[in-house]
Amino acid sequence: MARHLRRAPVDVTLVDRRNFHLFQPLLYQTATGGLSPGDIATPIQHVLRKHRNVRVVMDEVVHLDARARTLVTREGELPYDTLVLAAGVANHYLGRDDWTPLAPGLKSIEDAISIRRRILRAFEAAEMEADATQRAELLTFVVIGGGATGVELAGAVAELARYTLRREFRSIDPRSSRVMSVEASDRILGELAPSLSVRASQSLERLGVEVMTGTTARAIDAAGVDLEVGGHRERVGARTVLWAAGVRAAPLAHALQEATGCAVDGIGRICVEPNLSVASHPDIFVIGDMAHVAYRGKPIPCIAPAAIQQGKFVARVIADRLAGKTPPTPFRYFDKGSLATIGRSAAVGEFRGMRFWGFPSWLAWLFIHLIYLIEFENRILVLIQWVNMYVGRRRGARLITEGG
């Protein structure tokens, strides 16, 4: 949105807790040692350096006063004429917040580094473990949630074990690792056509992933997970459990609800007007994953193409209002489809009713993700590491580091 306001007579202040823009779709590759954090993140100030009407501030919004048109941040106060909120979603443990440390989710760079550390440490610990049962637990990886993130993560962990680490240990054979993809509904990638779910399951199984649909996690502890499959419980000993089963709107949505009394959906997203503004607050917009936008009877999915289109739309509304023109309404979503990748040379996707799978759709996945990386330099860096990873089966960023 800030980019599209470049020529409008406005001053934009962009507030973010972080100093960088994160390319979320490739975060699972950082979590599995394929890419470095710097490859998928770019300083926001750098992205907007030529936008002289944009000021970037690293700060956190804690409260908002819709009547006084003021944001209260950690560092002070920020008055506004028009407010656009795009704070996204966070991991959601469906009422089991105690699972947070046991089964980390994948939303931030810190999450990715922490997951990378867990996965790589498990192999190191297994190499030193004398007891066979303990070793099996260390070499079992459970990914809860069979959406795009869960499927991509499970595929990447299986590739790491089966190919990248194959020759690098002496006591263990990483290929004996167990990777499980657990999904509560009856198929993975539920947003795609059923035939593509079948293809995705087959691709995962070819990589050695056990796909368990109709399966729910009932309990998670440090040594494993209790699964419920078709009415009976099953214990799986696993030292690494990863969470990709649910998200909820960022806390800022709650602050907005308190300030304006607006409606929210079941996961806390703001239900916005057709022009993406908040009911009876035409000066406040919500875009991206944090907004619940009805479109042809169901909400627009939490994906980047929708957020990008919404940013562009709101920039247009703001500019037209200032120019005295009638702003466009309602927001029209152009569905660019969905695409999920499963390891090397397999992907499934859908676009306007057409279905894609196998190598061609994997190539399309590569190409689209490279194009949408925000910085040219990062495109080259990612491309080189992909050649290394997909041709040489190597992963260069396999570091176990402390902290974030």
Instruction: Enumerate the active-site residues.
Output: 152
> Which residues between 144 and 183 bind its own copies (CB under 8 A)?
165, 167-171
Q: Which of residues 3, 8, 10, 45 is near its own copies by CB under 8 A?
A: 45
Residue number with CB closer to its own copies (239 or 292): 239
Q: Which of residues 94, 308, 364, 400 is near its own copies by CB under 8 A?
A: 400
Q: Which residues neighbour 340 within 8 Å (Cβ) at sequence distance 6 or greater?
A: 148, 151, 152, 189, 192, 200, 347, 348, 349
Residue 70: CB minimum distance to its own copies, A: 16
Assigned token pair, 294: 């009805």
Task: Tell me if 396 sits within 8 A of 388, measured CB to CB.
Answer: yes
Assigned token pair, 36: 């470095």
Q: Which of residues 213, 375, 390, 393 is near its own copies by CB under 8 A?
A: 375
By three-state DSSP, how is residue 350 classified? strand
- For residues 382 and 254, give the distance between their C-alpha atoms in angstroms, rounded to a whole number: 37
347 sits in which H/E element: strand 347-351
Q: Which of residues 29, 32, 42, 91 is near its own copies by CB under 8 A?
A: 42
Residue number with CB closer to its own copies (18 or 235): 18
> Which residues between 314 and 373 bind its own copies (CB under 8 A)?
none
Residue number with CB closer to its own copies (16 or 226): 16
Taking alpha carbons only, the member of 217, 257, 207 closest to residue 238 is 217
User: Partners of 227 in the beta sheet?
Assistant: 217, 234
168 sits in which H/E element: none
Q: Which of residues 1, 2, 5, 20 is near its own copies by CB under 8 A?
A: 20
For 119, 158, 395, the CA distances from 104, given in Å and listed in that order, are 11, 18, 22
Residue number with CB closer to its own copies (199 or 395): 395
Q: Under the criterion CB under 8 A, does residue 36 sit at the interface with its own copies?
A: yes
Instruction: Point out which span in 32-40, 61-69, 131-139, 271-279 binds its own copies (CB under 8 A).
Output: 32-40
Residue number with CB closer to its own copies (30 or 203): 30
- For residues 4 and 182, give the distance between their C-alpha atoms in angstroms, rounded to a whole number: 41
Residue 396: CB minimum distance to its own copies, A: 5
> Which residues between 59 and 118 bind its own copies (CB under 8 A)?
59, 75-76, 109-110, 113
Taking alpha carbons only, the member of 119, 97, 99 closest to residue 34 is 119
Residue number with CB closer to its own copies (58 or 264): 58
DSSP string spanning 195-234? Answer: HHHHHHHHHHHHTTEEEE-SEEEEEEETTEEEEEETTEEE
Give the footprint of its own copies on this chain (CB under 8 A): 18-20, 35-39, 41-43, 45-46, 49-50, 55-59, 75-76, 109-110, 113, 120-121, 124, 127-128, 165, 167-171, 375, 377-378, 380-381, 384-385, 388, 392, 394, 396-404
